[in-house]
Amino acid sequence: MCVGEVHRHVEEGLELIQETVLLYQGERGRPRARRMVTEMDPTDPRLYDLFGLEDYVPKR
The CA–CA distances, whole Å, from 19 to 26, 29, 54 equal: 21, 25, 11
Query: Does pTM surpass 0.85?
Result: no
Residue 5 has pLDDT above 70, yes or no: yes
Confidence at 60, pLDDT banded by 50, 70, 90? low
How does pLDDT run across 14-53, given as a tens digit for each residue? 888 888 888 988 888 888 888 888 888 888 888 889 888 8
- The continuous run of DSSP H or E covering 8 comes out as helix 3-16
Cα–Cα dist 22/51, whole Å? 25
Cα–Cα dist 37/25, whole Å? 21
